[in-house]
Chains A and B, each alone.
Chain A
Amino acid sequence: MGYDLKMRVWRGDTDGGELVDYTVEVSEGEVVLDALHRLQATQSGDLAIRWNCKAGKCGSCSAEINGRPKLLCMTRLSDFEPTETITVTPMRTFPVIRDLVTDVSYNYEKAKELPYAQLPPRDADGKRRMAQIDVERGQEFRKCIECFLCQNTCHVVRDHEDNKPAFAGPRFFLRYAELDMHPLDTHDRRALAQGAAGIGMCNITKCCTEVCPEGIKITDNAIIPMKERVVDRKYDPLVWLGNKIGIRNKDNDGRTEV
């Protein structure tokens, strides 16, 4: 059930580039990455693609397919008409290195600015105890495969290069929320999320959630709760009054602000 697929692939580097037309034979059950690999093996040996696991688990092969941010390995050709031309371009938010490979170092720089888990000493028997239901909230965020499609899609940086220094982006808001929801963590990082990570710049359009290949509810489960907690700390009149008259919000007991 093979057929000839028409593809347009962006070829070029930092000096510029263009969409190049190809025709490549494909067969049943294949994904876009298979078609690109065949191009590479038969027509264009130096076509640059970043990929590893080819199973949606490593998050390396992020690109834009017909303008939509996707993993190349998880986009099946059967989602398209055989007559349709499939256009593949690199992620737009990050500078191109070559062809479909972009410089995603923005994300690795942001990762260096993140806080870390600070757990108390272990229990007397050398183990730690947490309830399954409590770890599940953080586990949802730790499903993240760092494909950076959310970072690529977020219009705060996609359309505004100048926001990059002040904005960590959805992938890293996940990390703040994960630590904030860690049952044993001892730090209160709300001020950090507001200041250093720029969570206030997010206006919850949910584009990040839409493109997440892991189906993580980035906006609803991570960003909005984190925003609410930041706001609680800063503006909630009850919290303000409580602080004034010496009643503390027990939610953050045992956590130290950093």
Chain B
Amino acid sequence: MTGNEMSGASEGGMERHQYDVVVVGAGGAGLRAAIAAHEAGARTAVVCKSLLGKAHTVMAEGGIAAAMGNRWPEDNWEVHFRDTMRGGKMLNNWRMAQLHAQEAPERVQELEDWGALFDRTEDGLISQRDFGGHKYARLAHVGDRTGLEMIRTLQQRTVQLGIDVFMECTVTELLKDGERISGAFGYWRETGRFITFDAPTVILATGGIGKSFKVTSNSWEYTGDGHALALRAGAALINMEFVQFHPTGMVWPPSVKGLLVTESVRGDGGILRNSEGKRFMFDYIPEFFRSETADTEEEADRWYDDKKNNRRPPELLPRDEVARAINSEIKAGRGTPHGGIYLDIASRRTPEFIRKRLPSMYHQFKELADVDITQEPMEIGPTCHYVMGGVEVDADTQESAVTGLYAVGECSGGMHGSNRLGGNSLGDLLVFGKRAGEAASAYAAGLGAARPAIRDEDLKAAQASALAPFEVEGGENPYTIQQDLQQSMNDLVGIIRTGAELEESLREIEAFKERARTMVVEGHRQYNPGWHLSIDLRNMLLVSEAIAKAALAREESRGGHTRDDFPKTDNEVWGTKNLVVTLDAGGTGVDLHEKPLPVMPDELKKYFD
């Protein structure tokens, strides 16, 4: 890929590059940040673990939430802002939710300027579809492969602008000069050779943490790299207890368990039934959403065509509500043969409609499960999908507590509060990707010649740390530790949590850390997945501890955090503060603090009266 020639056996030297802005991650957020930085005049590099165009954004299906008003002229940023805050159970950083709602429409239009081909309305405008928690049909989409369209558009734009992309290259350490970022260190996966970037700014856009869980919709890359890099560099993470379990993942066959089934199935008319054939979501409408949710099947069915006079179907409640309901039905013994719930669109829409609107889902079930979704219901169950928590950043610039370190997209925190609405992720990537790219290049430009410098001893330490797994003899292989961690997180820090289980999980994580200290990899440095995993595993362990610790501390249930022993949402105690984690003194674990939530100004409070 890379043009560098080094046999796997040889020691090799160190490659070194100078940039103004280094973006880690090439999903929607990373590419949008890189484009913005480049257009602002910064020398910009993108560094990514996979090939360009393969990032997890391609898996996004439903669409980009943006109040463009193409279907419903009544829609505007205020309504979108309100939906976002309510979906996050008011724990969102209000300023991020506001900026997101205001700027998403222009970010979508921009994609179209760059060649994206969205589905159209009858008037030829960008079509918008219904999704959970959004008052109006608001998601700009391309069938059910919106993420692919987004990544390809951004990828082609990146190439067009001539931005340097370092593919299959993993960043393992951030480097600092005093309190400021001075660069990043990593290795080429292809050769194992080391690489250093001298850069005053690093934008983390590494996505999420889902690979710490056994049942997940996330790919191998989702090992919490950005979260862990930020912690080790001295930044803080917020809201780590909030992990989104998407209500609808495939449950069968085992090989695809957890694979995402888009929310668009429900947005386009699909409903949930238990093994007794009951449309059970009507039994799970929470007080918070009762006034805006239909309480009869008739009203719910009328809503698709007449939104003014009817309320939303309960299948389109925010994801946390639907996932919990499905979990309860399965636990009560009303699940399907493979331990899921039925998601039925076959009996509600024509085969032509389904194939047209949901082509990827049709293909996915046909190819992988031998199920024709135009003829029979799908079997689905909750799957670990998204982490709301992430690097604590300034809302306007996405800068962390460390000067020169920025975080965008899933690896940043605050925007989504305790629960993210579907469709708000793709908008998040674009809006804050652009903001971070611009802020980072402005900071870099202002530095002049007084740039932070990398210290040689830091580079030596980074190399030693990366090679450590080769030095050990007789330890375990990293795959075994990873599998045990995934099982443990699934069992003890999953969709329903208890204090005792969370304490148990923290003990288990300590034991995994101990085992990881002596893990061993075979072979040499050239394209060696075992070695790569051994490095990623350290990040997974650190982030898993952050999740479990925050989940244990938050003694209430809210959004993507449900405590069986504290089932109520406690606004008095927990509605006004965030849990924040930072690296502990030993550097291998995390400390927990509380921090007051930013207070929303009065002119925005009026939307919640």
Q: Decide whether A and B assemble into one complex.
A: yes
B220 engages A55 (CB within 8 Å)? no
Q: Which residues of A contact B120 (CB under 8 A)?
A: 130-132, 135
Query: Can you list 11 A-B pairs, Cβ within 8 angstroms, ordered by A?
Result: A13-B8, A29-B252, A34-B255, A45-B477, A45-B528, A50-B51, A55-B256, A55-B368, A114-B156, A129-B123, A143-B148
Which residues of B467-482 have CB atoms within 8 Å of chain A's CB atoms?
477-480
Cβ of A182 < 8 Å from any Cβ of B?
Answer: yes
B222 nearest CB neighbor, chain A only: A52
Q: Is residue B364 within 8 Å, beta carbon to beta carbon, of the partner chain?
A: yes
Q: Establish whether residues B109 and A122, one from each chain, have CB atoms under 8 Å apart when the complex forms.
A: yes
The contact string, 1 if C-beta is below 8 Å from chain B, for chain A 124-167, is: 00111111100100110011111000000000000000000000
In the complex, whether A65 has a CB less than 8 A from a CB of chain B is no
Whether the pair A108, B59 counts as a contact (CB closer than 8 A) is: no
A:1-54 near B, CB below 8 Å: 13, 15, 27-31, 34, 40-42, 45-54
- B363 at interface, CB cutoff 8 A: yes
Residue A112 at the B interface, CB < 8 A?
yes
Of listed A15, A112, A116, A117, residue having the most chain B CB within 10 A: A117
Least CB distance from B426 to A in Å reads 15
Q: Which of B119-162 contact A (CB under 8 A)?
A: 119-120, 123-127, 142-143, 145, 148-149, 152, 156, 159-160
> Which B residues are in CB contact (< 8 Å) with A179?
115
In contact, B115 and A117 (Cβ under 8 angstroms): yes
B529 touches A52 (CB 8 A): no
Which partner residue on chain B sits nearest A15 by CB separation? B7
Any chain B CB within 8 A of the CB of A74?
yes
Tell whether A231 is near chain B: CB-to-CB under 8 Å: no
Chain A count of residues within 8 A CB distance of the other chain: 61
Q: B residues touching A (Cβ–Cβ < 8 Å)?
A: 1-3, 7-8, 50-56, 58-59, 68, 70, 109, 112-115, 117-120, 123-127, 142-143, 145, 148-149, 152, 156, 159-160, 167, 190, 219-221, 252-256, 259-260, 360, 363-364, 367-369, 477-480, 483, 521-524, 526-531
| Nearest-Cβ distance from residue A107 to partner chain B, whole angstroms | 9
Chain A nearest CB from B533 CB (Å) reads: 8
Q: Is the CB of A56 within 8 A of B253?
A: no
Docked Cα-Cα span, A127 to B1, in Å, equals: 39
Q: Are B480 and A104 in touch, CB under 8 angstroms?
A: no
- In the complex, the answer to whether A129 meets B117 with C-beta atoms within 8 Å is no
Measured between beta carbons, the chain A residues less than 8 angstroms from B109 are 122, 126-128
Contact B523 A59 (CB under 8 A): no
Q: How far is the CB of B361 from chain A (nearest CB, A)?
A: 11
Residues of B within 8 A of A132 (CB): 119-120, 124, 127
- Whether B255 lies near A31 (C-beta < 8 A) is yes
CB of A29 within 8 A of CB of B255, answer: yes
Which single residue of chain B is at the shortest CB-CB distance from A47? B529
Q: A117-B114, A117-B115, A126-B109 are in contact. Are A53 and B479 (CB under 8 A)?
A: no
The stretch from A93-101, A193-201, A234-242, A243-251 touching chain B is: A93-101
A130-B7 Cα distance, complex, nearest whole Å: 52
Residues of the B chain whose Cβ atoms lie less than 8 Å from the Cβ of A15: 7
Say yes or no: B529 contacts A55, CB within 8 Å. Answer: no
Instruction: Name the residue among B148, B156, B479 with the largest chain A CB count within 10 angstroms.
Output: B148
Contact with B along A59-89 (1 / 0, CB 8 A): 1100000000000001010000000000000
For residue B218, which residue of chain A has the nearest CB? A53
**CB-CB < 8 A to B149: which residues of A?**
142
Contacts of B8 in A (CB 8 A): 13, 98
Closest CB of chain A to B250's CB: distance in Å?
9
Residues of B within 8 Å of A101, CB to CB, are: 190, 527
- Set A34, A41, A99, A105: member contacting B483, Cβ < 8 A: A41
In the complex, residue of chain A having the shortest beta-carbon distance to the beta carbon of B360:
A57
* Residue from A54, A111, A135 in contact with B119 in the complex, judged by beta carbons closer than 8 Å: A135
Interface check A204, CB cutoff 8 A? no
In the complex, are the beta carbons of B364 and A55 less than 8 A apart? yes
Determine the distance from Cα of A79 to Cα of B124 in the docked complex, in whole angstroms.
Answer: 43
Select from chain B the residue with minimum beta-carbon distance to A118.
Answer: B115
Taking the closest CB of chain B, its distance from the CB of A99, in whole angstroms, is 7
| Chain A, Cβ-Cβ closest to B531 | A46
Cβ of A103 under 8 Å from chain B:
yes
Given A41-B483, A57-B145, A119-B113, A105 contacting B527 (CB threshold 8 A): no
Known: A57-B148, A105-B1. A129 touches B124 (CB 8 A): yes
